[in-house]
Amino acid sequence: DAMVIQNPRYQVTQFGKPVTLSCSQTLNHNVMYWYQQKSSQAPKLLFHYYDKDFNNEADTPDNFQSRRPNTSFCFLDIRSPGLGDAAMYLCATSSRDGYQGPQHFGDGTRLSIL
Amino acid sequence: GQQLNQSPQSMFIQEGEDVSMNCTSSSIFNTWLWYKQDPGEGPVLLIALYKAGELTSNGRLTAQFGITRKDSFLNISASIPSDVGIYFCAGQNPTDNDMRFGAGTRLTVKP
């Protein structure tokens, strides 16, 4: 089945130690999103790529960066994780070609900070 | 930013009961979406609505896109234990195509 795959499902890192989360998709969607979700809250959009164009949300900290080397893969880099960055990180994809299709989510990576 | 109000925040119901939840917005959307999220997993798309007044069903789930384009509701009929989870509404803003999420409705179903 076509899907959005996130690796790893669980990630533990140390305070201040850079970490990279990955997302791949077989849907051939041209838009990929990264969300942060804290317990019992709605997902919060960090940024998205529309093809190769990067779109950052105004309130996303500089500590969060992203890379999209090709259509299928997108990475979330956290340069110096703080305790407040412990959360579930969700990747989503959608198709946008004049018309915006619905977003499809991966199962997330739960990030813990020691 | 655009406000998206989802209610109720939580519901505790008996198996077999019907459930209704809704979302309202301070301005219009061109698409309404309903997602369900189980613990430790990502949100799964349940129903997508693209036209004002549209009523769409997916099994025991029915959702409607309000005529004013500022609201949507989701109904679940004859609830079962596996309906437990958090239901999120999401609206797509016609001016920027980004999605806005509601705060979620946590559903508990007692057998």
Tell me the shortest Cα–Cα distance from B82 to chain A, in angstroms.
18
Tell me the shortest Cα–Cα distance from A20 to chain B, in angstroms.
19
Ordered strands of the B55-58 beta sheet = B4-7, B19-25, B71-76, B61-65, B55-58
CA dist B106 and B16 (Å) reads 17
Q: Give yes or no for A106 touching B (CB within 8 A).
A: yes
B-chain residues within 8 Å CB-CB of A90? 42-43
Dihedral sign of CA atoms B49, B18, A107, A33 in order:
positive
To the nearest whole number, what is the mean pLDDT of chain A? 94
For the stretch B59-70, pLDDT in tens is: 999 999 999 999
A-chain residues within 8 Å CB-CB of B42? 4, 6, 90, 92, 105-108
For the stretch B22-66, pLDDT in tens is: 999 988 899 999 999 999 899 999 999 999 999 999 999 999 999
B-chain residues within 8 Å CB-CB of A107? 40-42
